[in-house]
Amino acid sequence: MREEGLLQHLIAKNYTPESLGKIKEVLSAYRTHEVHPVANGLFAASSSQTGDSATGYQNVWVRDNIMVADALRRRGDFAPAIACIQGLTRFFEKQLPRFRDIIEDPVGMLGEDANRRPHIRFTAQTLGELPEKWPHAQNDALGQALWFRFLLANTNVLPMNRHEFEIYRIFPAYFEAIEYWQDRDSGAWEEGRKINNSSVGAVVAGMEEMLKHETSSGGPHGLGSAAAARTEKLKYLIAKGRERLDATLPYESPPERMVDSALLTLIHPLGRVGDRAKEDAILNLVQARLKGEVGIKRYAGDSYFCQDYDEWFAPSQMSSDFSERLEFRDAHLQPNCEAQWCIFDPVLSIIYGQRYLADRSDSASFRKQVHYFNRSLAQLTAEGKCPELYFLKGGRYVANAHTPLAWAQANQAFALHLMEKSIGEKR
C-alpha cells in the first residue's frame, strides 16, 4: 500500500489529446520534469540534496547524465544535451592519466582497487574527484558516454573536433587493456563485481558508434594506415563483445545473476540487442520476475533500501560503498521486500511506444505503452515529484529521500513525449 499520488484522478486506460493535455498542464504547474544543470552543464543525481548531503546524490554520475542528456536530445532540446556532454568531455580529459596508467600496465594497475579506474562519480563545480573510496569499475558508464558523444557527431548535432577525438580515442585502448568482454565490473548498480552484459553491451554500443564515425565522410581524424589500424581494432573489439552477448543474453551475468533491469538499457536508449527475440526475452523476464506493485526491482535479492532501510543504516551509510561488504547489507533483506524503482516503468513504456510507432498495427505494444506510462504517473508523489524508488517502511511503500531523481524525471518526460505521438497517430 502507498498514498495516492498527484495524478491518480487523471490516469486512464484510454487517452485523447485533450485528456493527455490535462496531465501535461499539471506536470507543468508542478515543474515535474524540470531538470537544471548544477555547473559545467552537468546534472546532480537529485536536485533535492544540499552540497553537504550525506547521501552523495548532489554529485554527478556519468551514467545518469548520459540518460538525462539523451532524453533531452530525443525531445529536441539540444542545447542542454550538448552542454552536458561537453562538461563530461572536460572531465574525461582530466581523467586521461588514469586511462593511460591502466593501458600501460593493466596487470599492475587494476588489481582489486577500483579507485585506480577512471572515475564515474565526481563534483560538477570543479570536475574534481571525490575523496571517498568508490566502486569506479563501471564499464557501462564509460561505454554510454562514448556512444552518446559519437552519436551526436554522427547525427551532426555536435561535430567532433580533433582535440575531442584525441580524448575519446583512448577509450577503445582502455577497453582492450581491461578485456572488457570478460572484465568483472561493478556495473550499473555499483555493487559486487562480475561480468555484466549491460556493461559489455554499452561498450559495444560506444565502439560501434565510434566505428560509424571512423568510416563516415566526416571522419576519421587522421589518414592512411593509422586510421585503418584504428578501424580494424574497433572491429576486433566489437566482435569480442558481440561474442559474449550472443552467447549469454538475455541474461545479465550468468550463472551469478540471470535477470536484471539494467539490461533494459541495451534496448533503450542504446538499441544494441540486435535481435527481436532476445529483446522480447529481456522484457518478459523483467516483467515476470521484477515487476512489483508500485515499481520495478533492479534484481531479485537487491538489499538497497530494503524494508525499514533507514532503521538499519545511518544517513551516511545508506548510500555508501557496499561493494566489498554486500553480504552485510543483504542480511537485512526479508523475502520479497526489495525496493521498487521508478526509472524502469517509463523505460518499458518508451520501448513499447517505439514499437507501436514503428508498426501501428501492433495494438499489444500500444496497450503496454499505456500500462507502463500509467504506472509511472502513479509513482509521482503528492508534490508532483519523480522519486528514485519506493521502499517498505512500517509495511507501507514510501518514497526515499532521493526525490526527485533526474534519471526518473528524464525517462518519464520522454515517455510522455512518445505517448503524445502515439495518441496523435491514433486519431
pLDDT tens-digit map of 270-302: 999 989 999 999 999 999 999 999 999 999 999
Highest mean pLDDT among 4-8, 174-178, 216-220: 174-178
Mean pLDDT across the stretch 131-152? 96
| Euclidean distance between CA atoms 198 and 249, whole angstroms | 10
Q: In angstroms, rounded to a whole number, what is the distance separating the alpha carbons of residues 266 and 423?
A: 26
Greatest distance between any 2 Cα atoms in the chain: 66
CATH topology of domain 36-289: Glycosyltransferase (1.50.10)
Q: What is the pTM of this model?
A: 0.95
Going by C-alpha positions, the residue among 290, 162, 154, 127 that lies closest to residue 209 is 154
pLDDT given at position 313 = 86
Q: What's the whole-number mean pLDDT along residues 115-136? A: 95
pLDDT at 394 over 80: yes
Positive/negative CA dihedral, 188, 175, 253, 113: negative
Q: Are 341 and 295 in contact (CB under 8 A)?
A: yes
Which residue ranges make up each domain of the chain? Answer: 1-30+290-427, 36-289
Q: For residue 342, report the phi and psi dihedrals to the nearest 5 degrees.
A: -105, 5
Decide: 168 and 149 in contact? Cβ < 8 Å: yes
Q: pLDDT-based confidence at 330, cuts 50/70/90?
A: very high
Predicted local distance difference test score (pLDDT) of residue 333: 96
Long-range contacts of 235-238, Cβ-Cβ distance < 8 Å, separation of 24 or more: 235/211, 237/172, 237/175, 237/176, 237/180, 237/207, 238/204, 238/207, 238/208, 238/211
pLDDT score at 129: 97
